[in-house]
Amino acid sequence: MKRVGIVARPDRAEAAGVVAGLVEWLTRRGRVPVVEKETARLVPALATAVVARSELPAHVDLIVVLGGDGTLLSMARIVGDPSVPILGVNLGGLGFLTASTVEELFPALDAVFAGEIVLDDRMMLAARVMRGGERLTQYVALNDVVITKSAMSRIINLSVSVEGQYATAYRADGLVIATPTGSTAYSLSAGGPILFPTMEAVVITPICSHTLTDRPVVLPGSQRIEVTLLTDQDVMLTIDGQEGLALREHDRVEVWQAVPRARLVRFPQKHFFSVLRAKLKWGER
């Protein structure tokens, strides 16, 4: 891995110093740092290659994301090609995906260059919105596809089909369709189960369902899901909590397993359950 891309969350106070130190560290070791355009503005004096975020995956062999899970999610949707792995480094916040700390950054990179790391392939979801038989837009999500009412709206009605067969209807504040990676995000807050992140599965979790017997449902990753909005009020579709579209009555949201996959770098010693223990304080009294 000769060329290393660098993306940072610009509003983190420590980001500029970490970026400058990383560029210097990589250069001393004969690696070529390639800095994302917005990130480069944090350290104007950097003498290194600078490219737009959308172009970064085509110019590098590895991407280092400095920030939180949101920064990594936005980058994962751009990468597309699983041959470009992502190393997430947490600069604050909970950080399930950016599980490495700043102190672990350089040891992690040493391990990457020595081939002593694990690459976790994570499934992603594709989602598109159909309105009146026409496709409005299409997205890719690493965490989740969420349909939710606005703050002032009443409970919304949703009809759900799986593989073309009617499954159920929900009267709820909304619905989360999550990957195993996203099972520890919004879906978990809504009462969904935690799925092992490399599974091929999808979890459907209602948000504050009006019917107490409604429970999260786990499906094979290959299943195609269709959700039709049956309510005429303010409802939003959001992708990884970062992109979105206002929905109308009778809009249909179609969700299926995407072809692109996210490839995340992990220390062999940092197992999924060690992350859960650290982030969720499992086993502590």
Specify the pairing of strand 252-266 against strand 118-131.
antiparallel
pLDDT classification of 81: cutoffs 50, 70, 90: low
Average pLDDT over residues 167-190: 96
C-alpha–C-alpha distance, residues 121 and 179, integer Å: 12
Task: Report pLDDT digits (tens) over 90-99.
Answer: 887 677 888 7
C-alpha–C-alpha distance, residues 156 and 193, integer Å: 23
Specify the pairing of strand 62-67 against strand 86-90.
parallel
User: Could you confirm whether 173 is annotated as catalytic?
Assistant: no
From the list 11, 69, 121, 232, the catalytic residue is: 69
Contacts (Cβ under 8 Å, ≥6 apart) of 85: 62, 63, 119, 263, 264, 265
Q: Where are the domains of the chain?
A: 3-117+267-280, 124-259
Q: What is the pLDDT of residue 97?
A: 84
Task: Report pLDDT digits (tens) over 12-32.
Answer: 888 999 999 999 999 999 999
Q: What is the pLDDT of residue 125?
A: 97
- Contact by Cβ (8 Å): 48, 23: yes
pLDDT greater than 90 at residue 118? no
CATH of 3-117+267-280, one of 3.30.565.10, 3.40.50.300, 2.40.10.10, 3.40.50.10330: 3.40.50.10330
Q: Decide if 3-117+267-280 and 124-259 have a common fold.
A: no
Superfamily covering domain 124-259: Probable inorganic polyphosphate/atp-NAD kinase; domain 2 (2.60.200.30)
C-alpha–C-alpha distance, residues 226 and 127, integer Å: 10
Place of tokens 């009267």: 171
Task: Report pLDDT digits (tens) over 202-254.
Answer: 999 999 999 888 999 999 999 999 999 999 999 999 999 999 999 999 999 99
Residue type for 231, please? T
Q: CA distances (Å), 235 to each of 24, 77, 143, 146, in order?
A: 47, 23, 20, 10
C-alpha–C-alpha distance, residues 197 and 212, integer Å: 28
Assign 145 to helix, strand or coil: strand
